[in-house]
Each structure stands twice: as structure tokens, then as C-alpha cells.
A and B are shown apart, each in its own frame.
Chain A
Amino acid sequence: MRSSEYINKDEVAIIGGGPAGMQTALVLSARGFSVRIYEQKEQLGGHLKGWHHLFPHGVAASDLLGALKEQVLARAIPLHLGQTVDHLQKVGEGWELWQGETVVGRAGVVVLANGFALFDARRKEEYGYGLYPSVLTSADLEAVFRKERPWPFGPDCAAPQIGFVHCVGSRDLKCGSPHCSKLCCVTAVKQAMAVKAFFPEAQVYCFYMDLRMHGLEYEELYRKAQVDYGVRFIRGRLSEAAPGQGKRLHVKAEDTLQGRPLHLQLDMLVLMSGMVPTFVLEQQERAVFFKEPVFGSGFVPVQGFLAAGSVVQQKGLFASGACKGPATLPEVFADAAAVACEVEQYLKSLKAVAHA
């Protein structure tokens, strides 16, 4: 029988080294707790690594990531890079972190910060992702901006026709993703403007269901895209993308405001893939497994109010950031700080009990 004595009750393990994980670690570390980050990739950063610049002000993503990493290094937070954790085992009041048959860590508190995955756009086969090279996802387009992949049309194309499809795998009951991914609307606006900055002659269309510009200065950005950049917003879903003239795509859609069908020949089609869970929690008695999500899997459920970080039915297990559901970067940072406070409260309450 293992004793819980060998677990340092004050230590916090953070699973995931993206913005949520780093920020939670930084706040806890600043408040005097010992934290460790377990990241399955070889580098910190999560999805932020793949971004070129950020809405609404166009700050370079690498600047933000660099600043975060610098702080993590400055605080000498222990990092376990390239380390996957596939389940947790409860030992006494604390946890063991496991990968397969091996214990890879121990902690009094575990914070899940595994973030989100992008909806697999191949599931909407009618949009032709994976079939036609000129169909990209929003993440692919960021890679183009970062010069990690080429534009899908030739250099001779000075005035490309470009389409953005909103809500691909979001608000789609049939795909098992009923939620709104909430940041794709403004991402499309940002990307449309960026494309226009690269190709001023380009004609850019955004196909949307309705635009949700909820964040600070998002609405202003949307107006700017229309007025200053001439991006055309068309309310209607795409019905299909098929091979068109030459290397172009033949896109069929409906303009629901004008009530007429649309046929377009496009040089590039960008699918705004929604956010989906990376894992689903399988809770057993004194163990928590991270399983592959299945159709209709939801994000990590938390206790009580939505802003809370304590995972349902699990003492000493918290969740931070976009693993609880779609969130923008400012929301993730705010949430991470809040969850760090919750963790602190929890640890203090344990101590109070121990003293009593």
C-alpha cells in the first residue's frame, strides 16, 4: 500500500503548456507555490505557436509567446516537455500522474490546461478539405502568414478570389458540435484583412451564419474590414466546393439576405474550423483517464458556476482555460488567474484542516 506521505501536498502539476497552463503556473508561482508543467509537445506555447498575429490589434503572436516563456524561465518553473499524461491516480489527498505503466509525476493538486483541438475539417467532405489543395483551414492560413507553407495559388495571381467559411464544425448539431467556438468570427475578419494587406486587389468573401463580435474592439474591426478593406460579408452557408475552371474551385452558396443562389470561382477557400475537446474525462473510483473524444463529447465539466475551475466530482483537480470550452486569449488569461486563486484557497483549506 502506497502512502500518501511521499506526495508533496503543496505541489501543483499543470498538464498543458499553452497560454492557460503557463499563466496558471505563473500566478501560482508568484504566490509562492511550487508548480511543474507537463507538456506533451517538445515546446511550450500550444496553439499560440501556430499564430502569426493576434486580433484585435495585430500584435505578433511570437511576441506574446516570447514574453510568457521568458517569465516561465525567469521563475525557473520545472518543465517536463515531450511528456504525455494519460491518466491520474488518486493517492491519499494527492495525485499520481501516469503515462501507460509509468508514474511520471506526483502532486497535491492537478490543473488541467490541455486546451482544445481544431475540428477535423475533412469531416465536412463537401467543402473538399484534403481533396483540393486550395482549401485551407484557418490554422493553415496562419502557417501561410508565418511563411511555413506557400499560398495555394501561383505568384501570377495578383487579384485572387478568396472565400472564408465561418462555423465549420461549430454550431453544427449534425456534427455533434452544438457550441459556438466564438473566436472564429473575429479570426476570419482578422485573416480577411491580412489577406487584403498581402493582395490589395484580392476579392474576399466571408460566408457567415451570423457574426458574433462580442469582444472588446471586435465590432470596430468588423466595420474596418468592410469599410477600409472591402471584405464582402455574405450571410449564407456554403453548400459545396468542387473543382472549377483551371486550378480554381467552384463554390456554391446562397445569399440568404438577397435570397438568391451564388456561384463563385475561388482561388482559395479558408475553413474556420471550430474548437473541439482534445480529450474526454473518464472518471473512475480514484482515477481519471483522458480518452479520445467520441461523437458529441463535451469539454471538461466544472463544478457550479461556469467561471469556476474545480472539475466535477474530483477534489484537488482543476481545469483552466479552453479545455472547459471555447475562449479567447484575454479570457484564458483571466480564467487562469482565477483558477490559480481557487487552487490557492483549496491548498489553504487543506492546511487548516491539518492544523486543526
Chain B
Amino acid sequence: MEKSAWFVWPFMLGFMFALAVLLLRYLWWLRSLLRRPSSRLLSRMFSKHSLLAVREIFSEGLLHLRIYKRNRRLGFMHMSLALGWFMMIVGGKFETWFHSGQFLHGTWYAVFFRYFEPQTVGGWAGTFWLHYMDFGLLLVLTGLALAIVKRIRKKVLGIHSTTRHTLVNRVALTFLWMIFPLRLVAEALTFGQHGGGGFLTGALGRCCFTSGTLAGLELPFWWAYSLSLGAFFVVLPFSRYLHIPTEMVLILLRHWGLQAAEDLQPEKALQAFEIHACSSCGLCLDVCPAIKDHPFQSAYFLRALRSGKGWESLASTCLSCGACEEACPINLGLEKLRMAARGKIHEKHHAVYSYLPTVGPVETSKVDVLLFTGCMGRLKPATTKALKDLFEEAGLSWVHLDEQESICCGRPLALAGRASEASALREHNRSLIKGQQARMLVTTCPICLKQFRDDYRLELPVYHHSEVLWSCLSSGSLKREKGTACFSYHDPCELGRKSTCYQAPRELLQSCGTLLSLEREQADALCCGNSLGSLSLSLSERQALTSRTLKVLEVPGAQSIVTSCPLCQHNLARQSSLPVKDLAEVLAVTGLPEQQGQRKAALAAVQEL
């Protein structure tokens, strides 16, 4: 190598360093898999799953389609940075191959190719590669410009919050931002002095850098370019930019059937890749209902897990409303991770449930519905009463499993990360449920619903009461006529995002009145503020959340707020100026055909007079 080309060394050293650290970290994370590779993983490795993984890497790692779907400007920013850089890496390889006829070169050769081969050679194909590479660079620079705008004026990119970064991340960010403008200037200088170049670098060189006095600047700029690249690579494995390679490996591992552990192991297997694949893109921030109160959002939680410091409070304060998991562009299992972290916090605490066997079974009979109203149902006896009336009306027979005494479904403990205690409760409830002969289990509480569906392995189907009531309406066993009432509907986190039940409650309300549309609903709905998910959020913070949620619900024209979770109802009703009802209560009293019939008859009688 000639003496002038020594400038490639900073890049080479940084690159080799990053590669070595990455390799070591990945091997460490995969240690258990390497020791005992599962046959499932091996069989999936050589199957279509790998191709599917590559497709996802392309659509999410490069094109960032999920971000694009949520927010076009932000998606374009991510896409232009990733795709542009990727284009340059691939193009660089082909260009050097084309020019030298050799496929293999030192890594530095393609990176600093323009310095070594400033003249355009090779006719139309050479010209193509020149312009192609310039296009890649332009794409990256566009993304960079947007990223800078995002830091200064985030609203331009359609977001309200950006992640606050730590020092190492800010250093990495600075180096990354320097790389591409330096490359542009270095190439333009070379082209200005020696001629040639594509539509961007060549044009810039011809218009600004032809003067002989600037010749001395050429090499320093190539040095600066190499230094910033090298520095970036040195900090990469210790910054959020580790997400770039990690996300790709994560996608592969997922497609190969690997699942995250139930307990917290931030330096092991899939969990390690999930934690390090987070780019802190910040999409979890804007959707978080508590963004104004607490910096516990997933981007910060994962960062704390990476550093090993402060994750405990972030894990336990979060409301577990699931909005961030819904928004995460790389589908990280955030809820599961949070529960694993909570489990770690409570590792040493154990509760005893020796009193449980005293809760006796309810008398058995063959019925349609086994009703379970749960602990929260006890706060809302009116809902239970209304539902029983509706069952009666629809001709459904029922047994109320927890009418007198009850055992918690286990979900609050599961949300607190106390998996073994939750399973102790589940065992007891399971045996009580098994002692019954019913066609289905129906619960008024979405918190119980989630637990019954996901963790009970029951032999009978489990429904939320809204689903049963809707099927009664569709089959005609319940009849309602559309009244004049106007409702706004609050989607409970546990029923909506966690159980994807959005339609049944809406159909029910539309059958007996008018359902108003809201600024944030369905998957974007806000948490009521009283989620069992948070273990440490203070009352005043919760009340602030509730009043924000109520602002969304109290739309003009709404006569009442309707929800389908006893806990949400209980909480919203305390602070709301509008009445807050459960679906069953609304359905039990509104739009009864006979009532309307009576009203019509009364009206007719008055008119006759």
C-alpha cells in the first residue's frame, strides 16, 4: 500500500474491532444453543423459513415498512438511511468487481474506491455505477437531513416525542452524522481535482473544488471520513446502533422458531437479541398514555436492561397497556420481557395460598353458561345483575361460579411477574371449572378473559360477555331496536389490544344507539389509568392519566361512556362527569322492543285524545 493510503487504517481497525466484539457477544448469547442445538431449529434453518426471514429483513431492516405504515415521513427517514447505506455497500462491491475483474478485495478498497480510482472508466456500465453510488449517497443524506430536522423540530416528522439518548449514543450519533457529509466532500474534492464523478459528487467537485489550491485538502478529508467511520464502528457494539446487525439476526432466529425465555436473561438467547435489537426509534413513546408523567417507555426500559441499571423501577411502573408492543416496528415481545423483569424483582418473595382448598365448588348442573365475574366484578354488581337479566331474556341457563366466594384468576399476579403464585391460583380455579358441566365459560372481566384463554388450557370455550351478547343479538335470541342514545366507547387494554376484541362491543352499541368515533380508539385507545399492570404508579399520576382518557371519551354529543371492563368502568366513573356504564347495563335497559312498543302505544293514545 502506498503511503498516502494509510488513511484507510482508522476505518479498518474500527471495523475489525466491531466485528470481533459482535462475534464474541453473539457467540456468548448463543452459547446454550451452540452447546445443544435443538433439532427444530436445525430443520427450520434449511427451509422456507430462512427465505421468509430474508424477506422480513429486507422489508423491516431496510425498507422499514411497519414504521412507514404508521408514519410516512418517519418511515422514509429510516428507509432512506438504511436502504441508501445498503445500496452503497452492495454497489461498492459490484463496482470494484467490475473495475478490477476481481471479486475479493480488502474491505477498505470498496469503501475508499473513489480515492483509488477517480477516473470514470468502463463506458456505460461504469457511468451507471457512478450514478448509482451517488444516488445511494443522496438517499442517505436525505435521511440524515430528516434525522437532524427530527432532533430540532420533531413535529415536522409527525411525532411528539423523541428518545433522550445517553452520552455514548450521542457520541455514536455524531460520528454517524459526520460519515456521509465527509464522504461527499472527500469524493467531490477528488473529482474536482482529477475529473469524473456522478451526478452528485462529480457536479459538486466541478462547481466548487477544481481550484489547485484545494488539492491539499483532498487527503485530509479522506482521513476525516475514515476516522469518523472507524470511530463509529468502535462505539457501535456499545451503543444503540448495535441494533443494526442484531435486528437481522433476531429476525432469523425468530423464523427458526426460537422463543424468548419466561425469566429474565438479558445476556442469553433470543431475549438478548430482542433487548439489543431495539433501535430506540421512539415509536413506543408517542403511543404511551403515560408519556407526560413517567419515562418508563419501552425504549428506556430496554436501554436500562442493556446497561443493567435502573430497569427494576421502569419495569414495575409501566401500566402494561400494550400500546408500545402494538406500535413496535420490530415486534419485540415487550410485555413478556417486562413480566420476566418483574419476576426477577419478586424472585425472593413468596406468598402462601394454603387457604385456597376451603373455597368449595358450586353445585353442578348442566347449563349453557358458566359465569365468572372475577374480583373486579365484585365492585360492579350492577353489571352482573344486568348480564343475568340478559341471559334470562335470551333463554340461556347459567351457573355463577364465583357468586359467593372466589379465587382470583391469577392475572394480577402474572402481571406482577409472580408466575408460580399465579399458577397456584389457576390450579384451583381450573379444578372448580372442570367440576362444572357448561357449554362455555363467560367472564365480564377482560383481565380474567385473557388469563383463561392464554394460560388455563380449558376444554370449554371462553368468551367475554360482549361476544356472547353479540351472538345472541345476531341469532335473534336477544332483540333490540335502535334508540336515540349516543355513546362513546372505551376500549379496555385487556380486551382490545390484548385480546383483539373490538367488534363485538361496537356492534352491540350500534344495535341500540349511536356510537361516536373518537380521536384515539381500538388499538390506539388510551389506558383508563387504573391498570393492574402498574405496580408502582402513584394515585395522582393515575388520576392524571384518567382525566386525559376522559377528555378523549367526553366528545360532544356523548350521553354516556360505555366500556366492557369492570376495572375501567370503576375507575372512569369516579372521575367522569358523564355516566359510565358497562355494555350489559346499557343493553339491559335500552332499546327494549316492548318498551318502545309501549311508548308508541302511549303516544298513539295521547294523539287520539
A176 touches B378 (CB 8 A): no
Q: Which residues of A lie under 8 Å from residue B575 when comparing CB positions?
A: 176, 295-296
B381 touches A174 (CB 8 A): no
A128 interface residue per 8 A CB criterion? yes
A123 touches B379 (CB 8 A): no
Residue of B nearest to A241 (CB): B381
A180 interface residue per 8 A CB criterion? no
B574 touches A174 (CB 8 A): yes
Q: CA of A155 to CA of B380 in the docked complex: distance in angstroms?
A: 31
Q: Which residues of A lie under 8 Å from residue B403 when comparing CB positions?
A: 242
Q: Which residues of B lie under 8 Å from residue A240 when comparing CB positions?
A: 378-379, 381
A125 touches B570 (CB 8 A): yes
For B, the interface residue count at a CB cutoff of 8 angstroms equals 17
B539 interface residue per 8 A CB criterion? yes
Residue of A nearest to B575 (CB): A295
Q: Which residues of A lie under 8 Å from residue B570 when comparing CB positions?
A: 125
Task: Give residues of chain B (556-582) contacting chain A, Cβ–Cβ below 8 Å.
Answer: 570, 573-577
Report A312 CB to chain B, min CB distance, Å.
Answer: 23
Task: Give residues of chain B (374-402) contacting chain A, Cβ–Cβ below 8 Å.
Answer: 378-382, 385
Task: Give residues of chain A (23-41) contacting chain B, Cβ–Cβ below 8 Å.
Answer: none
Q: CA of A173 to CA of B571 in the docked complex: distance in angstroms?
A: 12
A126 touches B574 (CB 8 A): no
Q: Which residues of B lie under 8 Å from residue A292 when comparing CB positions?
A: 577
Task: Give residues of chain A (110-141) contacting chain B, Cβ–Cβ below 8 Å.
Answer: 123, 125-126, 128, 131
A306 interface residue per 8 A CB criterion? no
Task: Give residues of chain A (161-177) contacting chain B, Cβ–Cβ below 8 Å.
Answer: 173-176
Q: CA of A294 to CA of B577 in the docked complex: distance in angstroms?
A: 7
Q: Which residues of A lie under 8 Å from residue B379 when comparing CB positions?
A: 125-126, 240
B385 touches A131 (CB 8 A): yes
Q: Which residues of B lie under 8 Å from residue A295 when comparing CB positions?
A: 547, 574-577
Residue of B nearest to A294 (CB): B577
Q: CA of A61 to CA of B380 in the docked complex: distance in angstroms?
A: 37
Residue of B nearest to A242 (CB): B381
What sequence of 0s and 1s flags, for each residue 399-411 of chain B, a beta carbon within 8 Å of any chain A beta carbon? 0000110000000
What sequence of 0s and 1s flags, for each residue 229-271 of chain A, a beta carbon within 8 Å of any chain B beta carbon? 0000000000110100000001000000000000000000000
Q: CA of A126 to CA of B383 in the docked complex: distance in angstroms?
A: 11
Q: Which residues of A lie under 8 Å from residue B539 when comparing CB positions?
A: 173-174
Residue of A nearest to B547 (CB): A295
Q: CA of A292 to CA of B578 in the docked complex: distance in angstroms?
A: 12
A125 touches B381 (CB 8 A): yes
Q: Which residues of A lie under 8 Å from residue B378 when comparing CB positions?
A: 126, 239-240, 242
Q: Which residues of B lie under 8 Å from residue A239 when comparing CB positions?
A: 378
B577 touches A176 (CB 8 A): no
Residue of A nearest to B379 (CB): A126
Residue of A nearest to B546 (CB): A295
Q: CA of A242 to CA of B379 in the docked complex: distance in angstroms?
A: 10
Tell whether A126 pairs with B381 under 8 Å between CB atoms, given A173-B539, A174-B539.
yes
Q: Which residues of A lie under 8 Å from residue B381 when comparing CB positions?
A: 125-126, 128, 131, 240, 242
12 inter-chain pairs at a CB distance below 8 angstroms, sorted by A residue, are A123-B573, A125-B379, A125-B382, A126-B378, A131-B382, A174-B539, A240-B378, A250-B404, A292-B577, A295-B547, A295-B574, A295-B576
B574 touches A175 (CB 8 A): yes
B574 touches A123 (CB 8 A): yes
Report A253 CB to chain B, min CB distance, Å.
Answer: 13
Residue of B nearest to A244 (CB): B404
Q: Which residues of A lie under 8 Å from residue B385 when comparing CB positions?
A: 131
What sequence of 0s and 1s flags, for each residue 209-246 of chain B, a beta carbon within 8 Å of any chain A beta carbon? 00000000000000000000000000000000000000
Report B436 CB to chain A, min CB distance, Å.
Answer: 20
